């Protein structure tokens, strides 16, 4: 994969992170844009740096009955494994529902409701015991988590800066600029943008301007130009590390 000019070869410092309440809220422009893959990469980086990392996914839906009985989902299990299995898997995502719908609709299908208080209080065991907490939302920034709360509301109440993830495909520039603008208008700090390559290249040749890695690189460059000095990075398909590396603990 080609490098992103003016960004690679060094670690990016995120000076806006509020270290009095260390953590980040990973959200997306939509569902299915690679949030969990990015979250896992960030958690692994922090663990390798010797940090004790807490992981929290406030609510999940589209979870099979077998997974629910095991008190886990694919997303929460990946986060938990990346962090070294801290506390218990049940605390990673304390609210799980089966139907592949928005969390409030999924809960309603089971005759239940999403507990708004638990969305906010579920992070407390992680804040008390760990140096840094990585929170992964459900769906996009303005997707509903409950009848009364969107991801943007929870991020604001938790007091965490956003890491905005979008899929590295056509339309990433417009989606990302719109989401960053909306987040800032809502009074939130955007700490970084990560483009995640969610599909392999297939039979496309590297010289093809529509090759996924080329689209990812070019989109990152254009987003960086329009949002500088906001850090912009990428996560290639199948990669385990974000490029360039970011200093999530910078003060």
Q: Supply the residues annotated as catalytic.
A: 57
Q: Which of 227, 232, 229 is nearest to 242 (CA)?
A: 232
Q: Are strands 53-56 and 132-140 parallel, antiparallel or unpaired?
A: parallel
Rounded CA gap, 177 and 106, in Å? Answer: 30
Neighbour tally for 157: CB within 10 Å: 13
Q: Give the CA angle between residues 223, 169, 136 to the nearest 5°.
A: 80
Burial 103-126 (b: 16+ CB within 10 A, else e): bbebbbeeeeebbbeebeebbebb
Q: Which two tokens stand for residue 134?
A: 């990585």
CA distance 219 to 2: 13
Cβ neighbours around 238 below 10 Å, total: 8
Q: Is the dihedral of CA 212, 214, 215, 221 positive or negative?
A: positive
Closest among 46, 17, 30, 26 to 193, alpha carbons compared: 26
């Amino acid at each position: 994969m080609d490098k992103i000019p003016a960004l690679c070869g060094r670690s990016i410092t995120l000076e806006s992170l509020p270290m009095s309440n260390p953590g980040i809220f990973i959200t997306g422009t939509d569902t299915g844009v690679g949030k969990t893959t990015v979250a896992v990469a960030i958690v692994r980086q922090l663990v390798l740096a010797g940090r004790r990392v807490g992981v929290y996914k406030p609510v999940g839906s589209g979870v099979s009955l077998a997974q629910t009985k095991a008190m886990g989902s694919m997303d929460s299990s990946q986060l938990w494994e990346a962090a070294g299995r801290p506390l218990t898997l049940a605390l990673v995502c304390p609210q799980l529902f089966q139907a592949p719908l928005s969390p409030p609709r999924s809960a309603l299908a089971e005759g239940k409701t999403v507990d708004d208080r638990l969305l906010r209080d579920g992070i407390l065991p992680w804040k008390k015991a760990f140096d840094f907490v990585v929170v992964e939302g459900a769906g996009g920034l303005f997707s509903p988590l409950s009848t009364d709360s969107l991801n943007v509301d929870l991020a604001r109440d938790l007091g965490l800066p956003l890491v905005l993830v979008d899929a590295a495909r056509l339309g990433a520039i417009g989606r990302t600029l719109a989401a960053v603008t909306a987040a800032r208008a809502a009074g939130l700090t955007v700490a970084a943008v990560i483009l995640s390559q969610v599909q392999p290249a297939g039979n496309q040749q590297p010289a093809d301007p529509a090759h996924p890695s080329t689209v990812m690189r070019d989109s990152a460059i254009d987003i960086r130009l329009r949002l500088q000095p906001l850090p912009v990075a990428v996560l290639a398909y199948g990669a385990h590390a974000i490029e360039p590396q970011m200093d999530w603990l910078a003060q």
